[in-house]
Amino acid sequence: MYQPRKDSRRAKVLQIVNDSGGITVERFIEKHGIMGFENLWAVTSELRKLARYGCIKQIGNVFFSVTQQNPVDTGEPKNLVPAREPVPFTPLKTFPPKISPRGQPIERREFKNCRSNIRYQGKNDV
């Protein structure tokens, strides 16, 4: 895991997040100031970079310590997608036609699809 250099600005930001137990960017700036960053976006970018490196966790817009066991409940349900169940079997309600539109009888032919080199012995083959 990534460890920032001792006494660097990034290490101070990481220490603040670890001590807070969960902090948003707005609360961070309200309590600790902008800490030498250019603007609000630079602070947000730095916190997201630490989350990408695995030093802290980001849930929504709140940043948590990685070592914190139980982060604050965000109110999101655990199972967002229901389990997939097979569709119940229903038999065909229509049958193929026995007579073509021209009035000719349609042959009952079964189609076999074999993609191997093994020859299929049909009833009409000698």
Nearest-angstrom CA–CA distance, 64 and 15: 11
Can you list the domains of the chain with their CATH numbers? 9-65 (1.10.10.10)
Residue indicated by tokens 């800490």: 35
- Kindly give, in sequence order, each residue whose CB lies less than 8 Å from that of residue 59, ignoring residues fewer than 6 positions away: 71, 74
**The length of the chain, given as a count of residues:** 126
Per-residue pLDDT of the chain (126 residues; tens, 9 = 90+): 788 899 999 999 999 998 888 899 999 999 998 888 999 999 999 999 999 999 999 999 999 988 765 555 566 666 667 778 888 888 877 777 888 888 888 877 666 665 666 666 777 776
DSSP SS3 for 115? coil
Residue 91: predicted pLDDT: 84
Residue 10: predicted pLDDT: 92
Judge contact between 22 and 40, C-beta under 8 A.
no
pTM of the full structure: 0.52
